[in-house]
C-alpha cells in the first residue's frame, strides 16, 4: 500500500492519526488513550491546563518522545524521530523559538528548507532586519523569524507549541493568522495555545486535555459561543 507521504496530499487527507496513544518519560505515562486526527487543510487547537500533557503529545507526534502504547502515523508513516518526521514533511515550532541568536536573520532563514524571499513574504517586516543578528530582535520578531523559516518550506504538517509565550496580543494574532493561512493552503496544523479565546477564532476543532487524556473534542464554532465549557474543564483539572 502506498503511504500518504509518497503521494500528493489532497484536502481532507488524514495527515496525523493517533489511536490509543500513550507516552511519557522513564516508562511513566503522561498521556494515555489519545485518539486524534488532523487532516490536510485543518487547524486543530489542543488546550489544557499546565501539566495536562500538551507538549508531550506534540513531541510524541514529532518523534522526539517514543510512544509507550497505541498507534501513531504522520503522513501515513511512523515518524520514529524528529529527523525522519521532518523528511516526511513535518515541522515543529517550539516555545523556545529555535533560532540561532549569533547569526543574522538572513542566515537563519537560509538554514531552512525554503528561500529567504518566501520567508519574508510571510512576514514582510523582517526584510529590514535581514542583516541584523537574530539575538537583537524583539521576542515577537524572533517568533516571526522562526515561523517564517518553517512556512517558507511549505511543510505538510505543522506542530506549534505555545507560540504566544510572552508576546503582545497583536503579534499573537499575526502568528495565528499565518498558521491559519498555511492550513488553508493545505497543511495540517496542530496548535498548543494558552490564549484559548484568540486561538478558537482561528482553529476548526478544539481538543481539551485533562490529566493526559482528551476530555473534550468539539468544533471550534461551538466553543466560541460557549467558552465556559472549556473554563469548567480547566477548573475541574485544577
Q: Torsion angle, CA of 133/136/138/143, rounded to 10 degrees?
A: 40
What pLDDT is recorded for position 2? 37
pLDDT in tens, 19-41: 999 999 999 999 999 999 999 99
Cell 507560540: give the residue.
163
What pLDDT is recorded for position 5? 47
Given 3.90.400.10, 3.30.2350.10, 3.40.50.300, 3.40.47.10, which CATH number is that of 4-89+155-237? 3.40.50.300
What pLDDT is recorded for position 227? 80
What pLDDT is recorded for position 3? 44
Instruction: Name the DSSP class of 21.
Output: E
| Residue 209, beta-bridge partner list | 48, 214
Phi, psi angle pair for 30, to nearest 5°: -100, -35
What pLDDT is recorded for position 192? 96
Global confidence as pTM: 0.92
What pLDDT is recorded for position 7? 53
42-62 per-residue burial string, b: 16 or more CB within 10 A, e: under 16:
bbbbbbbbeebbbbbbbbbbb
What pLDDT is recorded for position 101? 97
What pLDDT is recorded for position 238? 63
Cell 503522513: give the residue.
75
What sign results for the dihedral spanned by CA atoms 98, 101, 102, 105? positive
What pLDDT is recorded for position 95? 79
What pLDDT is recorded for position 155? 96
Question: For the chain, which ranges sit under pLDDT 70?
Answer: 1-7, 238
Amino acid at each position: 500500500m502506498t503511504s500518504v507521504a509518497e503521494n500528493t496530499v489532497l484536502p481532507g487527507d488524514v495527515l496525523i492519526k493517533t489511536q490509543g496513544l500513550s507516552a511519557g518519560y522513564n516508562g511513566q505515562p503522561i498521556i494515555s488513550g489519545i485518539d486524534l486526527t488532523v487532516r490536510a487543510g485543518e487547524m486543530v487547537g489542543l488546550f489544557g491546563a499546565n501539566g495536562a500533557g500538551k507538549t508531550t503529545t506534540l513531541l510524541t507526534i514529532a518523534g522526539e518522545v517514543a510512544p509507550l502504547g497505541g498507534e501513531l502515523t504522520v503522513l501515513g508513516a511512523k515518524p520514529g524521530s524528529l529527523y525522519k518526521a521532518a523528511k516526511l514533511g513535518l515541522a515543529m515550532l517550539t516555545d523556545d523559538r529555535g533560532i540561532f541568536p549569533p547569526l543574522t536573520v538572513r542566515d537563519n532563514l537560509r538554514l531552512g528548507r525554503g528561500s529567504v524571499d518566501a520567508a519574508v513574504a510571510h512576514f514582510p517586516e523582517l526584510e529590514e532586519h535581514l542583516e541584523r543578528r537574530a539575538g537583537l530582535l524583539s521576542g515577537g520578531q524572533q517568533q516571526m523569524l522562526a515561523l517564517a523559516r518553517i512556512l517558507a518550506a511549505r511543510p505538510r504538517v505543522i506542530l506549534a507549541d505555545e507560540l504566544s509565550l510572552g508576546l503582545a496580543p497583536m503579534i499573537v494574532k499575526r502568528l495565528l493568522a499565518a498558521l491559519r493561512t498555511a492550513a488553508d493552503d493545505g497543511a495540517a496544523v496542530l496548535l498548543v495555545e494558552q490564549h484559548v479565546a484568540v486561538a478558537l477564532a482561528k482553529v476548526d476543532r478544539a481538543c481539551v486535555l485533562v490529566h493526559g487524556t482528551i476530555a473534550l473534542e468539539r468544533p471550534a464554532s461551538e466553543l466560541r459561543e460557549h467558552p465556559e465549557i472549556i473554563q469548567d474543564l480547566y477548573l475541574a483539572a485544577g
